[in-house]
Amino acid sequence: MNTLFDSLKSRFSREAETETGDITAAALRSDRFRQAREGDWKRLETMVSAMEKGRLSRLSDADVLELPVLYRTVASSLSVARETSLDAATLAYLEALVQRAYFLVYGPRDSFTGWLRGFFAGGWSRAVRAIGLDILIALAVMVAGATVGWLLVAHDPQWYGALVAGETTRTPTATREALRATLFGDQKQEALGVFATFLFGHNSQIAIMAYAVGFAAGIPSVLLLVQNTGNLGAMLWVFHQKGLLLDFIGWLSIHGTTELFAILLAGASGIHVGRAMAFPGGHSVMASLAAAGRRTAPVMLGVVLMLLVAGMLEGFARQLINETPARLAIGGAMLVFWLNYFFTFRGRRT
């Protein structure tokens, strides 16, 4: 009996010594692991803490460039720590540090307010200037479309119905008084409100579609611009025939200089995407399209804002102002503003 007891005691003693040895070995292994890499961990933690407190200026250029390298080094340490089952404290520390560093390395570089400030303070205008060639192409297409629309209706008024579908008030057979009544007088009349709503909705759809279909080598974008400005050219001829061309331009210009400019930019963005697809250069088609999409995305965001501004001008200013000179002044001022903002204002790079 004593022999059996002594045997069990000896066995338990050996197991306890083995377990204690394993724990000691694990602790030593964890300590050596930490000592070998702790310098990088502390350095990354110092940089992350400074950036989280908004003290980026305290970091040198070398520190900022080293941040992604340190992040990957510490992430690798975390992976090794998990595989070798190091102590819980080390794992928790590394997981928290890697998570904090991840948002600084791969997260947004600026707040929404900062991004918005940068967008209006030069980002939008630079994006527009970056597609300058495409803007010239789109402008030429729009002028050609308006000219073709004018000439077609001037040659045969029957073309008007094909170019301006659904219009029953502003037609070649309407009297001068009827046409003038749609421009002046009671600004709340139903015909004017319906046409204003139609014009804004139609041009908004044209702007968005002109960009969306640009991937097809830009051809649908060109056709949409031609169709849209063909409508405008036909309508310009109708008012010209009745001696109301300047009044119509004034009525249209309040919101039209902004709205047509937005359509111009949307069409140019679509053409830019189409050119990137047709002529990808040394890149693959998909890579070229992706780059073109990134370049034109800020432009299209601005187009949406311009259409909102045009809608407010159309809904309020045009309804309240009933004189052609004042309408032309507002429309001209908006055109000068957009030209100056896009092609003169340089802003600042962030």
pLDDT in tens, 290-303: 888 888 989 998 99
Mean pLDDT of 120-142: 91
Is 350 a member of any domain? Answer: no
* Domain end position, chosen among 107, 125, 147: 107
* Domain end position, chosen among 60, 92, 107: 107
193: pLDDT strictly greater than 60: no
Determine the pLDDT at residue 348: 56
Is 132 a member of any domain? Answer: yes
Rounded Cα gap, residues 209 and 205, in angstroms: 6
Is 348 a member of any domain? Answer: no
Better pLDDT: 27 or 78: 78
Is 60 a member of any domain? Answer: yes
* Domain end position, chosen among 66, 87, 107: 107
Is the same domain home to 35 and 119? no
Mean pLDDT of 18-36: 55
Mean pLDDT of 311-324: 78
Tokens at 218, concatenated: 């830009």
Is the same domain home to 52 and 190? no
Residue 228 near residue 201 (C-beta atoms within 8 A): no
Tokens at 315, concatenated: 């809904």
Determine the pLDDT at residue 340: 93
Reported as a pLDDT band with limits 50, 70 and 90, residue 86 is low
Which of 38-42, 197-201, 228-232 ranks highest by mean pLDDT? Answer: 228-232
Could you report the per-residue pLDDT of 250-288, keeping only the tens digit for each? 988 988 899 999 999 999 999 998 888 888 877 787 888
Q: Which residue has the tokens 């073309």?
A: 159
Is the same domain home to 38 and 127? no
Determine the pLDDT at residue 5: 47
Is the same domain home to 98 and 134? no
197: pLDDT strictly greater than 60: no
Determine the pLDDT at residue 238: 92
Is the same domain home to 28 and 70? yes
Is the same domain home to 239 and 182? yes
Is the same domain home to 102 and 118? no
Rounded Cα gap, residues 234 and 261, in angstroms: 19
Better pLDDT: 97 or 328: 328
Rounded Cα gap, residues 335 and 134, in angstroms: 19
Tokens at 343, concatenated: 């092609």
Is 246 a member of any domain? Answer: yes
Phi, psi of 281 (to 5 degrees): 70, -135
Is the same domain home to 197 and 286? yes
Determine the pLDDT at residue 15: 45
Domain containing 220: what range? 113-343
Is 240 a member of any domain? Answer: yes
Mean pLDDT over the full length of the chain? 79
b/e string for 207-230 if b means 16 or more Cβ within 10 A?
A: bbbbbbbbbebbebbbebbbebbb
Phi, psi of 183 (to 5 degrees): -105, -30
Is the same domain home to 95 and 126? no
Is the same domain home to 73 and 215? no
Structural domain count, the chain: 2
Is the same domain home to 185 and 269? yes
Is the same domain home to 87 and 136? no
Lowest mean pLDDT among 25-29, 109-113, 194-198, 294-298: 25-29
Could you report the per-residue pLDDT of 46-76, keeping only the tens digit for each? 888 887 776 766 777 777 777 788 878 888 8
Rounded Cα gap, residues 111 and 123, in angstroms: 15
Please state the pTM of the whole predicted model.
Answer: 0.65
Is 231 a member of any domain? Answer: yes
Is 259 a member of any domain? Answer: yes
Determine the pLDDT at residue 20: 46
185: pLDDT strictly greater than 80: no
Q: Which residue has the tokens 């030209």?
A: 339
